[in-house]
Structure 1
Amino acid sequence: MGKKDKKKDKLKKRLTDKYRLVVLNENTFEERFSLKLSRLNVFVLGGVFSILLIAVTTVLIAFTPIKEYIPGYSSSQLKADAVKLTFEADSLKIKLAVLENYTKALIPVLTGEIEAESIDSIQTKARQRVINESLLNASKEDSLFREKIESENRFAIQQNTNSNVKIVFFAPLSGTVSQNFDSNSKHFAVDIVAKTGTPIKAIADGTVIFSDWNTETGYVILLKHSNDYISVYKHNGNLLKQQGDFVKSGEVIATVGSTGELTTGAHLHFELWSGGYAVNPTNFIDFK
């Protein structure tokens, strides 16, 4: 035990022995600076200085832009810009695909492969039906009676639209109408609520002129029917027909879903267009 105590005392003495650090002028040997030190003080000061240096370096790298100059690190702003540009590129790619499909759908119309019904023959027949009263030798009573009947039927097409339509439409879906057609709020459609996966049927015979994805309205399919009618089905879950397919009335073309950014739940957004104008689907179809 005595030897161990002597070794401890000797080590303690070495650590606590004082030394003087003197800085002298080389020419005059004048003392400029002196400092009393011990081995223990040097170890403690060196350790404290090392800890402070590590802490300051860590703070500079973690909380200042200086880390961008260290190999392997990249700018956070550069990462954010890269992510933003990636999303914008994907959005532009989708919009370009939609535009290409829309252009392809218009090509048959522009090239004359799909001909719209001409009304020239109807107008010609109407002009030929003008009655020359002088040739008929109609009496005064006959003229008054004919004028009365013509005045009653003059606006028959506008007043009895449903009875004069040459095409019968099939209900695309049976369900609850959550929002009706309202031209004032620019809601040119009828929203029908139904369970996800419910079949959606074609309202009449027609040709698929568009069938693809849209960012705002999800999966969309458009059918062109006779008499210049176009039916539009939006927010579908799945599309079962492709562009150019011919479908029969009542044939399943899609399923109910909730796709697109503007959807509020599982439903069908149904539009009906005639001659380039939106019409109220409830005037032609019973959704109950």
Structure 2
Amino acid sequence: MAVFAVCNAGNKLYIYAFLPLARIKRCNALFAMTTKSAKQQKLIERLHHKFRLVVVDDDTLEEQLSVRLSQMNLYVFISTLLVLMAALTAFVIIATPLKEYIPGYDDTGTRRKVYQLSVKSDSLERVVKQQNTFINNVKLVLSDETGEGNTITNLQNTPDTGAAPIHTNLDEITDEEMELRHNLEQETQFNTIGDENLNALQLRNTQIVNLFAPVKGVISANFDAGKAHYGIDINTAEKEPVKAAASGMVVMAEWTIDAGYVIAIQHTDNLVTFYKHNSALLKKSGSFVKAGDVIAFTGNSGEQSTGSHLHFELWHNQRPVNPTDFLDFN
């Protein structure tokens, strides 16, 4: 079967007459390929076509900047800039805490830290409760609210429902009442001394018998529970280091009007030591100290102080004992 056909290849015109159909199909395919190749060539030429970007002064029309570029250069520059910005943004997010603000972000290390902090908080809560208990016991000792002091002052301030009313006028007090009060005071003093000896004996039977002298010096005032002087005064120079008598935990470190800077340490076996009239404190409440650690400096603070010295008290089972029975301050 012969067919008449016209084939345009490039700029040439081919005329086929009485050709087979297969030959015509090949001609059309060649025409399509040639057209596609021409379009690609035009695109490549357009991408590599050079342009000149000129920046001129609007007033003087003087050329300030001239850059020769093509569409290909512009595409490469913009693509490189976008890639660099994306890489920089990813680095900032990964290397900084900003990643925590990403919705759905979950760090295994963060979960582990949260768990550890929760465990520590529970432990600290138990420690705080123990410290509060120690502090309350110390406050009871300082204020003598335990009812176990058995001092003359306590007996005078304790009401007795079976006794006669207390006279406020001294002229109304009879000789019998004066004699009764004198006997009560003597009995109370004997009971106080007996309690002190018993408490000292109990302390010797405990494991804490090797105590560390907080300072060295001359004792200016001895222990006298009958006069409510529950410790001893050691004369020292100003700002001498005060050392812990034994290992324990600081349950009080504060300023009081009468005793100045006071620090108290809770030891094992219900043993508490007090250090008063200091010039400065080096430990805070809740701190753990070892025997011999410097906890303060001696001074003359407080209204009851008459000179540079250390007032040292030793309490066992909420009762004062004589520190000189266990320590050598010379």
TM-score w.r.t. the length of structure 2 is 0.40
Which structure exhibits the higher relative contact order, with contacts defined as CA atoms closer than 8 Å and separated by 6 or more residues?
A: 1
TM-score w.r.t. the length of structure 1 is 0.46
